[in-house]
Amino acid sequence: MAASKVKQDMPPAGGYGPIDYKRNLPRRGLSGYSMLALGIGTLFFGYWKIIKWNRERRRLQIEDFEARIALMPLFQAETDRRILHMLRENLEEEAIIMKDVPGWKVGPGWEGRGASHCRDRARGGGLLTAFYRKPGTKGVVGAGSSRGRLE
């Protein structure tokens, strides 16, 4: 038996064509310059919105302050009314407690003088100072003490 002759594969005449070995990916997204422009545009839009919101917030704050200023006399009157009510209750309680003491005047303020002649009157004390110096106001700083400490 004769050995059959093996035919070796050979390249075609003239050789093979060039092999394309580069990656051929499709172009994706925006270019660098357009991304930069988009980022700067977003930045300026954000700044504009912040400035706009700060102006609105400042306008609302001014409106709130004006409303507070307009209502300040009402709040002060309510506070004064509440203080006078508490002072009257203190004086009534003092009259009940000290009714058996001869010569006791209900309501003399500090050092035997009236509440309106209190030495703190020049600093805005007056009735409020007389209220805080009554013995029934324990726990309040300065109440019932000339040193201004809690007892």
CA distance 48 to 63: 23
Please give the chain's pLDDT, 151 residues, in tens. 567 788 888 888 888 888 888 888 888 888 889 999 999 999 999 999 999 999 999 999 999 999 999 999 999 999 999 988 988 888 888 889 888 888 888 875 544 444 444 454 455 555 566 666 655 545 444 444 444 444 3
Burial classification of residue 121, based on how many CB atoms lie within 10 Å of its CB (0-12 exposed, 13-18 middle, 19 or more buried): middle
**What tokens does 133 get?**
């110096």
Residue 149 falls inside a structural domain: no
Give the number of domains in the chain.
1
Range of the domain at 68: 35-100
* Structure confidence at residue 101 (pLDDT): 85
Residue 118 falls inside a structural domain: no
Residue 64 falls inside a structural domain: yes
